[in-house]
Amino acid sequence: MQRKATSHSEILPNGMTKYPEEIALLAVDLGVRTGFACFSNVPSLRWYQSANFGNAARMRKAIPSILGRWPDLAFLVIEGGGDLARPWMKEAAIRDLEVRIVSAEEWRKDILYPRQQRSGVQAKQNALTLARTVIDQLGASKPATPLQDDVAEAILCGYWAIGKKGWVNPTVLP
């Protein structure tokens, strides 16, 4: 599903994508405990947070208000799938959002070195470190509480996605 606003985008000589207005992308690290990261094409990291919904029914009820938070939301990137992704996709279709479902392995291979992801635990630890770099690089406020791995993974998944959109050069991470 392609949002109409993207048909007016322009590829600049440096390979970055220019849009006629500011638009947003929300990355979701899907689970009952869910991480969120919202980016704009400025580029900036607008917001990031973790939510423990407790169960799938509570998560489903929260989806409309989460997606309704940004009137300029154009893209939704979901890490994960299955039954938990269906209500996100349904609400995204109502809002005419472009949706991409990815696996952690898909974005990790582009963001983390193989040595940084030899195990799931190691990949999550390295995600925490790199997410702090993205927070600094994109000028977001520092977290008030310790960064959780679900938020860190949402930040990096979103950073990967905005790199794929041409909003940033994702190779600038150490």
174 domain residue, yes or no: no
Query: What is the reported pLDDT for 15?
Result: 52
> Which domain CATH number covers 154?
3.30.420.10
80 domain residue, yes or no: yes
142 domain residue, yes or no: yes
Mean pLDDT by 10 residues, the chain (174 residues): 41 52 92 92 92 94 95 95 94 96 91 84 87 90 86 95 87 58
150 domain residue, yes or no: yes
Asked if 166 and 17 count as a contact pair (C-beta separation under 8 A), the reply is yes
Query: What is the reported pLDDT for 7?
Result: 42
| Cβ-proximal residues to 82 (8 Å cutoff; 6+ apart), any chain | none
108 domain residue, yes or no: yes
Query: What is the reported pLDDT for 140?
Result: 86
Asked if 26 and 72 count as a contact pair (C-beta separation under 8 A), the reply is no
Residue with structure tokens 């207005």?
21
CA–CA separation, 46 and 61 (whole Å): 23
Diameter over CA atoms, the chain: 47
Query: What is the reported pLDDT for 160?
Result: 95
Asked if 153 and 35 count as a contact pair (C-beta separation under 8 A), the reply is yes
Question: Number of folded domains in the chain?
Answer: 1
pTM (two decimals): 0.85
CA–CA separation, 173 and 162 (whole Å): 14
Query: What is the reported pLDDT for 108?
Result: 87
Q: Domain residues for 133?
A: 4-169
Burial class (CB in 10 A: 0-12, 13-18, 19+), 105: exposed
DSSP lists the bridge partners of residue 26 as 38, 76
